[in-house]
Amino acid sequence: MSKSASAPTGWSLSTFDDSVLAVMRKGRAPRGRPAALAGTPRVLRWGVAGAALGGVFAVVAFAPASWLAGAVADATAGRLILAEAEGSLWQGSALPVLTGGPGSKDAALLPSRLDWSVAPFWGGLRLKLAQGCCIEPGLELEIRPGWNRLAVTVKPGAGGVGHWPAAWLEGLGAPWNTLRPGGQLRMASQGLTLLQQGGSWQVSGRADLDWLQASSRLSTLEALGSYRIGVAGSPGAEGGPPAITLRTLDGALQLNGNGQWTPKGLKFTGDARAAPGFEPALNNLLNIIGRRNGASSVISIG
């Protein structure tokens, strides 16, 4: 492992070239009664069934942490890896790693381990997360599975959801490994619930991700500014397709835009421009992040 030169002061981001994903193989039990039990007494059959059920409970109760690591890797297409997972599915820890996906050599990990505990409650599971560097104390996720649907409600800690060095994004590969972002990412949530149903995502409530004192190696400025990305859904329990907003809090680089997360992916339009007096310092960056249209740069995704 080697230390990332782009990590902000006080952070220790590490990078490495290769990652190993735990792969879970899922089987399906055959239907019907096994032929070997067809002629056995009912008491014996109940005993065998009870032993099998007990075995299932034992497997679930002592499921290793690697099961959760495998599920997270699958759900994120290999872009978030829980490396060096220890403990069990119900209580464990791991090192969160961002990668560019299968086959990518880009990867960046955070300086402290992520701890979790999972406990059942009526209607689902309650996931508690803790991480010294980045997660606010008291953060919980309530997970409610259902038929062809999954609901996840974010219950923030005392200071919000968490905060991360922007340099961690370099692990995702392009374009972040070119931008070499600096600054800090801070997330807050207001009654946010994510609902996956029928292959699409819906959102109720709101979450804001602030990029504070943002910087990039593509600019000579020490800081570009501070920005807020908002994710909000329609009112009501079911919510609606997530609406995305981008606005500038302060700074030399002015970013604004709106979009929506649809079943086909993100659709976003916005623009970037330099504040008066900063045009020469930001000209190169404006040429890269969008299509130039006079003094502004048009950003279009999807």
Q: Are 128 and 116 in contact (CB under 8 A)?
A: yes
Sign of CA dihedral 200, 210, 208, 112: positive
- The pLDDT mean for the chain works out to 82
Distance, CA of 80 to CA of 73 (rounded, Å): 6
Domain membership of residue 76 (yes or no) is no
**CB 170 within 8 Å of CB 180:** yes
Upper half-sphere CA count for residue 194 (Cβ side, 13 Å): 14
Task: Measure CA of the first residue to CA of the last residue in the chain; give whole Å.
Answer: 36
List the one residue out of 71, 72, 69, 116 whose CA is nearest residue 91: 116
Looking at residue 61, what is its pLDDT?
60
A 10 A CB-CB count for 4 gives 19
Asked if residue 19 belongs to a domain, the reply is no
pLDDT for 4: 40
Instruction: Write out the two tokens for 166.
Output: 């922007």
Instruction: Evaluate whether residue 56 is within a structural domain.
Output: no
Those residues whose C-beta lies under 8 Å from the C-beta of residue 104, and which sit 6 or more positions away, are 173
- Is 8 inside any structural domain? no
113's enclosing H/E stretch is: none
> Cα 8–172–141 angle (5° rounding)?
85
Distance CA 171, CA 69 (A): 18
Whether 277 is in a domain gets the answer yes
Give the Cβ contact number of residue 86 at 10 Å.
Answer: 15
Q: How many domains does the chain have?
A: 1
> Residue 72 — φ and ψ, nearest 5°?
-65, -40
Does 108 reside within a domain? no
For the chain, what's the residue count?
302
pLDDT digits (tens, 9 = 90+) for 132-158: 999 999 999 999 988 888 899 999 998
In whole angstroms, what is the distance from residue 101 CA to residue 267 CA? 22
Residue 173: domain span: 162-302
Give Cα 260 to chain centroid, integer Å. Answer: 18
Structure tokens at 106: 């880009």
In a domain, 97, yes or no: no
Cα Rg of the chain, angstroms: 23
Is 171:109 a contact under the CB 8 Å cutoff? yes
Side chain identity at 247, as an amino acid letter?
R
Note whether 80 and 73 are within 8 A (CB): yes
Asked whether residue 193 is assigned to any structural domain, the reply reads yes
Task: Compute the distance between CA of residue 97 and CA of residue 274 in angstroms, rounded to an integer.
Answer: 34
Q: 172-186: per-residue pLDDT in tens?
A: 998 899 889 999 999
pLDDT tens for the chain, 302 residues: list them: 434 434 444 444 554 444 333 333 333 334 444 554 455 565 555 555 554 544 444 445 668 899 999 999 998 999 999 999 999 999 999 999 999 988 888 999 998 999 999 999 888 999 999 999 999 999 999 999 888 888 999 999 988 999 999 999 999 998 899 889 999 999 999 889 988 887 777 888 999 999 999 999 988 899 999 999 999 986 655 556 789 999 999 999 999 999 988 877 789 999 999 999 999 999 989 998 899 999 999 999 88
pLDDT in tens, 57-81: 444 566 889 999 999 999 899 999 9
